[in-house]
Structure 1
């Protein structure tokens, strides 16, 4: 497995499903603004920043906010999201992820997180998996949003590897594009139709091993 020196993981939808908590928090905020917000609408927020997410919700409702109110609602949404997140338990790690991380460590492959979330450390600590990561690049250490490759390039740098030696695991189209833009191979986690640009697409880690990864990218 000499050609794969590091595996870089997105957080939401790859390691854990926090999308439901984001939805609950955005729904609560939309209700307060008098905007109808559905789970289908929530799909439009996948992989985009908090600022852009609120802009999309306001567009859906045909509303505008002052800068002060906009910032206030962003803070409120994050506070509500963290209320939900802080109740997370280790059993919310997605199926097969823990075994996959353990197998990578056993192979001597570097493991890094590459997430836009500013709450990544908090979530990893709640799930008790922080120690599996050699590097954590999150929303506090990057300025450019995916599909810009900054988060993954910093992950490669932090693990002492080159982009060509990295494999990225992503569930969002913007994340897949970020990996490609960074010159990395990428495994899409989810549906083929949304993630078709990835080198391979798998539904999750439940039936996917490090051996499968080696074979797929050989």
Structure 2
């Protein structure tokens, strides 16, 4: 089994739960267009880019909008979402995440962010987590959405390690596929039913350590 030299983390749903803020902003947009948008509908937007999310929203509502309107609505949704994340505090870091980061640092393991979010830096600053990351790759650095592995491959490259030496942490199916497509091992955060392509799955980081990760990946 290849040595683990680096860990690459998705942001939303792994380090922090910003999904609720995305949901509120998308729901508000859908309501403005005259249809409802449920939490179940929102599951389809996980790990998907902003413009693709809008396309899915339009499919759900059966609406057809020109490109200019789409861009305006995507910007409006982002403005509303930003209002929420600018009020975030370190209390919103998911349980066990910080302890796990500290465990990795103590063992000399490099840490990168691999997120489709264009607001990743703002969120990390609000959470006071920026200093934990040796490399940050977000939606402003990549052009291909997951399951394309671009975001994770860039993270590995910035850290100076081969994909085989990197472990990705993901909560979305498309993200797990992106890790595998990039030749990396993947720990799923969430439900084994949804993330069944991951090397192994845990519900979250509480009580999770480097040793837990190693033993889970070596099964």
The CA deviation string for residues 125-156 of structure 1, in whole angstroms up to 9 with x for no partner, is 00001000000000000110000000000010
Q: Are positions 1:55 and 2:44 aligned together?
A: no
In the alignment, which residue of structure 2 is the partner of 1:108? 108
Relative distance call for 1:209 and 1:64 in structure 2 (3 A) is same
Pairs aligned (count): 218
Q: CA deviation at 1:36?
A: 1.1
In the alignment, which residue of structure 2 is the partner of 1:12? 12
The CA deviation string for residues 95-127 of structure 1, in whole angstroms up to 9 with x for no partner, is 000000011001000000000000000000000
When the two structures are superposed, what TM-score results if normalisation uses the length of structure 2? 0.97
In the alignment, which residue of structure 2 is the partner of 1:214? 214
In the alignment, which residue of structure 2 is the partner of 1:86? 86
Question: For the residues of structure 1 that align with 2:21 and 2:85, how far apart are their CA atoms?
Answer: 7
In the alignment, which residue of structure 2 is the partner of 1:29? 29
Which residues of 2 match residues 149-168 of structure 1 at below 5 A?
A: 149-168=149-168
In the alignment, which residue of structure 2 is the partner of 1:144? 144
Q: CA deviation at 1:207?
A: 2.4
Q: Are positions 1:203 and 2:203 aligned together?
A: yes
In the alignment, which residue of structure 2 is the partner of 1:182? 182
Unaligned runs of 5+ in 1: none
Unaligned runs of 5+ in 2: none
Query: Stretches of 4+ moved more than 3 A in 1?
Result: none
